Structure 1
Amino acid sequence: MKEFKDKVAVITGGASGFGREFANIGARLGMKLVLADVQQDALDKTRAELEAQGAEVLAVRCDVRKAEAVQALADATMERFKAVHLVFNNAGVGSGGLIWENSIADWEWVLGVNLWGVIHGVRTFTPLMLECAKNEPGYQGHIVNTASMAGLLNAPNMGIYNVSKHAVVSLSETLFQDLQLIKAPIGASVLCPYFVPTGISQSQRNRPDDVKEEGGPTASQQAAQAVSEKAVSSGKVRAAEVAQRTFDAIRNDAFYIYSHPHALGNVQTRMEDIILQRNPSDPFAAAPQIREMLQAKLSVK
């Protein structure tokens, strides 16, 4: 996808973090923007900021866990703008803890947003984009799914998040191959950020009532939260920079997008473990202080 002016971009999780930065770049490029988010106040604020820049904006409160909500988002998009060219399946939440301590509600919430949100986005918008391509000469489209470096690695005490993001990477790679198979004028990319200052470490603020956890967090969940807050808040790469890298990848039809390419050494080690049939390598070999902090919080001797 090379042309952006007057094209229509749909962004889930569009009111904050990466989504907000995607929208800012889209506005500068003259795109028509559809923002979807569950946090109404943030959605209203971001819409007002973008409209002040002169952008045409449709803001829709949307719980991406629900197929009917994503379909309503697509319907509203077509009613307002008559086409879709760029889709960011970006909404995501963070959660951690020892994998056997995650409740059913934890799994339903994290997989609902991180995985089912992408599934619903792909199932709903890809056929719509293919239909748009039939009606628009020279149509160019692109789909970006937000995964994580956690979709390529498996750090301890964050298994529920790892599972969701590994699935998004797999879904995205398959989407790319499927679009290639039918020679669609639609590209696909997967964004795998590492620790970038966004609001993901505060995801509990938007946890819906139907998946609220009964009782307080376990010691392992508290430890995961502490590590996440520290790592995310201290990140040196900003969301705006990652958003620009993402648009550059869209222009260049690049599939894999990274915020921290130097972290790929850990991915290579994991691949070598698999190929050489080694047990999984120590994820804290280069940062043993993180293991020590976790073990201290978990009272592991």
Structure 2
Amino acid sequence: MITNFKGKTAVLTGAGSGFGLECARMGARLGMNLVLVDVQQDALDQASAEMQATGAQVASFRLDVSSADQMQAMSQSVFERFGAPHFVFNNAGVGSGGLIWENSVKDWEWVLGVNLWGVIHGVRLFTPMMLEAAATDPSWQGHIVNTASMAGLLNPPNMGVYNVSKHAVVSLSETLYQDLRLVSDQVGASVLCPYFVPTGISQSHRNRPAGLDAEKPTRSQLIGQAMTDKAVGSGKVTAAEVAQKVFDAMATDQFYIFSHPKALGNVQSRMECIVQQANPMDPFAERPEIGRDLKMALRAG
């Protein structure tokens, strides 16, 4: 929980666009010191310039969050300049589609590297710093927010690698919440589970490292990309609105953060199938035409 953000330090990965950028903007308005982390140099430069223009203290790092060494160096620099950060937003993420057996080893390495290992590194590097700061100052407050997805609570077909990465982030975050409760009342944790919000994630392949060049996309991957582009692009909830929810959650110590609470009916249905030992539900029950079109497209010669 953080009740007063002024003068506090925020570390934000994926800060060049989407939720990271909007949380940086909000942090700047609240008088926070900002550590901006992104893999895309031009987006990072633009975000840094915008935040500095507000008068905020800004440090920026172009790095790959999946790299233990790069994240270690960044965390050390942050500590030396600002001390332990109060708000850590492990938010960098990439999208991926296609039938689960068609994803290459490189696909798995890239998506799990960013979506899961990026969060792992953020948690393992910053949590000890935050707990130490809390132990030496009874008034110190900190909070870690990890970006998962509704795909961390559901299993939409034709996007398995992404689902796996996001389920792992939900599990990591729930465990982090429980573990922190064992040792401190001053450091909290939340998990952000957005549904379709226009953020740029559907075009994340633009930042795929050269060494992880994919094979030519399969039919299912092309279909998955088109469906994601359409769904994300038509999202009605904005990244700025989600950023507000993140800050509200930190102020009230709320663990689950949802951009689209109405989608929780699908989560409930999934859990009921598990409890009743029923087979997984039809993911297209509410929009049968989408399922029909997807099946036809995949089965076409």
Per-residue deviation, residues 69-90 of structure 1 (Å, max 9, x unmatched): 1111111111221231110000
CA contact (8 A) 2:99 2:160 kept: yes
Contact in 2 for aligned 1:144/1:188 (Cα 8 Å): yes
The answer on 1:277 being equivalent to 2:254 is no
Query: Within 2, Cα distance between the matches of 1:266 and 1:300?
Result: 29
1:88 aligns with 2:89: yes
Residue 247 of structure 1 aligns to a residue whose secondary structure is helix
SS at match of 1:269: helix
Q: Distance in 1 between matches of 2:54 and 2:77?
A: 22
User: 1:42 and 2:43 equivalent?
Assistant: yes
Q: Which residue of structure 1 aligns with residue 242 of structure 2?
A: 242
Question: Match of 1:220, as an amino acid?
Answer: S
| Structure 1 unaligned spans of 5+ | none
1:77–1:83 CA contact under 8 A, matched in 2: yes
> What secondary structure sits across from 2:280 in the alignment?
coil
1:264 Cα deviation after fit:
0.2
Q: Which residue is equivalent to 1:164?
A: 165
- Mapped to 2, the partners of 1:300 and 1:111 lie a distance apart of 30
| Distance in 2 of aligned mates of 1:36 and 1:47 | 10
Instruction: Give CA-to-partner distance per residue, 1:38-93, whole Å, 9 cap, x none.
Output: 00110000000111111111001121101111111111111221231110000000
Shift of residue 297 of structure 1? 2.3
Q: Secondary structure of 1:144's partner? A: strand
Shift in Å at residue 298 of structure 1? 1.4
Give the structure 2 partner of residue 257 of structure 1: 257
- Identity, in percent, stands at 67
Moved more, 192-201 or 134-143: 134-143
SS at match of 1:278: coil
1:5-20 matches, within 5 Å, as 5-20=6-21
Letter in 1 for 2:146: N
Of the structure 1 ranges 116-125 and 181-190, higher mean CA displacement relative to structure 2 is found in: 181-190
1:109-164 deviation per Cα after TM superposition (whole angstroms, max 9, x unaligned): 00000001101110111011112223334100000000000000001100100000
Match of 1:28 in 2: 29
CA RMSD in angstroms comes to 1.1
Provide the rounded CA distance (Å) in 2 between the counterparts of 1:294 and 1:182: 48
Extract structure 1 runs of 4+ deviating beyond 2 A: 134-137
After alignment, is 132-141 or 71-80 more displaced? 132-141
Please list, as runs of the form range in 1=range in 2, the aligned pairs for 1:116-265 lying within 5 A after superposition: 116-214=117-215, 216-265=216-265
SS across alignment from 2:89: strand
Quick one: distance in 2 between partners of 1:183 and 1:44?
36
> Number of residues paired by the alignment?
300
CA distance, structure 2, for counterparts of residue 243 and residue 72 of structure 1: 27
Q: Secondary structure at the match of 2:3?
A: coil
Whole-Å Cα distance in 2 between the matches of residues 55 and 293 of structure 1?
49
SS for the counterpart of 2:189 is strand
Cα contact 2:48–2:60 (8 A) shared by 1: yes
Structure 1 position 166, deviation (Å): 0.3
Deviation at 1:241, TM superposition (A): 0.1
TM-score by length of 1: 0.98
Q: Distance in 1 between matches of 2:134 and 2:115?
A: 28
Answer yes or no: is the 8 Å Cα contact 2:84–2:126 preserved in 1. no
Deviation at 1:192, TM superposition (A): 0.1
